[in-house]
Amino acid sequence: MIEVTINGAAQHFPQPINVAQLVVELNLLGKRIAIERNGDIVPRSQFEAVALVSGDQLEIVVAVGGG
Protein backbone atom coordinates (compact mmCIF):
# COMPACT_ATOMS: atom_id res chain seq x y z
CA MET A 1 0.00 0.00 0.00
CA ILE A 2 1.20 3.50 -0.89
CA GLU A 3 0.43 6.41 1.46
CA VAL A 4 1.01 9.95 0.21
CA THR A 5 -0.11 13.37 1.38
CA ILE A 6 -1.99 15.46 -1.18
CA ASN A 7 -2.64 19.10 -0.31
CA GLY A 8 -2.28 18.22 3.37
CA ALA A 9 -4.58 15.18 3.37
CA ALA A 10 -3.43 11.57 3.59
CA GLN A 11 -4.37 9.38 0.62
CA HIS A 12 -3.92 5.61 0.35
CA PHE A 13 -3.51 3.56 -2.80
CA PRO A 14 -3.55 -0.26 -2.77
CA GLN A 15 -0.83 -0.62 -5.42
CA PRO A 16 2.01 1.39 -6.97
CA ILE A 17 0.86 4.48 -8.84
CA ASN A 18 2.56 7.09 -11.01
CA VAL A 19 1.64 10.75 -11.35
CA ALA A 20 -0.30 10.18 -14.60
CA GLN A 21 -2.43 7.50 -12.91
CA LEU A 22 -2.95 9.80 -9.94
CA VAL A 23 -4.29 12.52 -12.25
CA VAL A 24 -6.85 10.05 -13.61
CA GLU A 25 -7.69 8.75 -10.12
CA LEU A 26 -8.39 12.29 -8.90
CA ASN A 27 -10.50 13.15 -11.97
CA LEU A 28 -8.09 15.89 -13.05
CA LEU A 29 -7.52 14.63 -16.60
CA GLY A 30 -7.79 17.46 -19.10
CA LYS A 31 -7.57 20.18 -16.46
CA ARG A 32 -4.78 22.74 -16.23
CA ILE A 33 -2.85 21.59 -13.20
CA ALA A 34 0.56 21.92 -11.61
CA ILE A 35 1.94 19.17 -9.37
CA GLU A 36 4.73 19.56 -6.87
CA ARG A 37 6.28 16.42 -5.36
CA ASN A 38 8.46 16.82 -2.28
CA GLY A 39 9.14 20.46 -3.15
CA ASP A 40 9.92 19.92 -6.86
CA ILE A 41 7.59 20.65 -9.77
CA VAL A 42 6.82 17.54 -11.84
CA PRO A 43 6.83 18.48 -15.55
CA ARG A 44 3.78 17.20 -17.40
CA SER A 45 6.13 15.33 -19.74
CA GLN A 46 7.32 13.29 -16.73
CA PHE A 47 3.92 12.32 -15.29
CA GLU A 48 4.18 8.74 -16.66
CA ALA A 49 7.76 8.29 -15.45
CA VAL A 50 7.39 9.57 -11.88
CA ALA A 51 6.29 6.78 -9.53
CA LEU A 52 4.94 7.77 -6.15
CA VAL A 53 6.32 6.21 -3.00
CA SER A 54 5.00 6.15 0.54
CA GLY A 55 5.74 9.39 2.32
CA ASP A 56 5.63 11.61 -0.78
CA GLN A 57 4.23 15.08 -0.15
CA LEU A 58 2.22 16.41 -3.11
CA GLU A 59 0.70 19.79 -3.76
CA ILE A 60 -1.73 19.97 -6.66
CA VAL A 61 -2.97 23.30 -7.97
CA VAL A 62 -5.79 23.55 -10.49
CA ALA A 63 -5.87 26.71 -12.61
CA VAL A 64 -9.23 28.44 -12.71
CA GLY A 65 -10.30 31.07 -15.16
CA GLY A 66 -12.28 34.18 -14.49
CA GLY A 67 -11.81 37.80 -13.97
3-state secondary structure of 32: coil
**Residue 67 forms part of a structural domain:** no
The number of distinct structural domains making up the chain is: 1
Task: State residue 3's pLDDT score.
Answer: 97
Q: Which domain holds residue 31?
A: 2-62
Cα(38)–Cα(59) distance, integer angstroms? 8
Dihedrals phi, psi of 61, to nearest 5 degrees: -120, 130
Cα–chain center distance at 18: 8
pTM: 0.91
Looking at residue 25, its amino acid is E
Task: State residue 67's pLDDT score.
Answer: 64
pLDDT in tens, 7-66: 999 999 999 999 999 999 999 999 999 999 999 999 999 999 999 999 999 999 999 877
CA angle 65/5/59 to nearest 5° reads: 30
Looking at residue 41, its amino acid is I
Q: Domain containing 46 — which CATH number?
A: 3.10.20.30
